[in-house]
Amino acid sequence: MSSLKLSILQYPVFPGDLQGNWERLATLAQKAEGELLVAPELALSGYAVVGEATLEELLARVKALAQNLGRWILLGHPSLSDRGLVNAAWLVSPQGLSQVVAEKEGLFPNLDRDFKTGQRREVFTINGFSLGVVLCYELRFPEVARRLVASGAQALVVLSQWPALRARAFEVLLEARAVENQVYVLAANALGEVEGLKLAGGSAVYAPGGSRLKALKEEGVLEAVLETQSLSEARKLFNTSAPWPPPLPETKIRSLEDLLPEVKRRRTLGHRLVFTNGCFDLLHAGHVTYLYQARRFGDFLVVGLNSDASVRRIKGPERPINPEKRRALVLAGLACVDYVVLFEEDTPERLIRALAPEVLVKGADWPEDKIVGADWVKSYGGQVVRLPFEHPVSTTDLIRKIRGS
CATH number at residue 355: 3.40.50.620
The verdict on residue 94 lying in a domain is: yes
- Is residue 393 pLDDT above 70, yes or no? no
403 against 54, higher pLDDT = 54
The number of domains in the chain is 2
Domain ends where: 176, 201, 234? Answer: 234
pLDDT score for 45: 96
Last residue of a domain, one of 234, 258, 283: 234
> What is the SS3 string spanning the chain?
CCEEEEEEEECEECCCCHHHHHHHHHHHHHHCCCCEEECCCCCCCCCCCCCHHHHHHHHHHHHHHHHHHCCEEEEECCEEECCEEECEEEEECCCCCEEEEEECCCCCCCCCCCCCCCCCECCEEECCEEEEEEEHHHHHCHHHHHHHHHCCCCEEEEEECCEHHHHHHHHHHHHHHHHHHCCEEEEEECEEEECCEEECCCCEEECCCCCEEEECCCCEEEEEEEEHHHHHHHCCCCCCCCCCCCCCHHHHEECHHHHHHHHHHHHHCCCCEEEEEECCCCCCHHHHHHHHHHHCCCCEEEEEEECHHHHHHHHCCCCCCCCHHHHHHHHHCCCCCCEEEEECCCCCHHHHHHHCCCEEEEECCCCHHHCCCHHHHHHCCCEEEEECCCCCCCHHHHHHHHHCC
User: Which range among 36-45, 166-175, 182-191, 383-392 shows the weakest confidence by mean pLDDT?
Assistant: 383-392
Model confidence over 205-255: pLDDT tens digits? 999 999 999 999 999 999 999 998 898 898 888 988 888 888 999 999 999
Label residue 83 by pLDDT band (50, 70, 90): confident
Considering the domain architecture, whether residues 225 and 262 belong to the same structural domain is answered as no
The pLDDT, as a whole number, for residue 30 is 97
Asked if residue 265 and residue 222 are part of one domain, the reply reads no
Domain CATH number, residue 68: 3.60.110.10
Same domain, 318 and 270: yes
Q: Convert the pLDDT of each residue in 339-356 to its tens digit.
A: 999 999 999 999 999 999
Task: Examine the domain organization and report whether 112 and 207 are in the same domain.
Answer: yes
The parent domain of residue 253 ranges over: 249-403
pTM of the model: 0.87
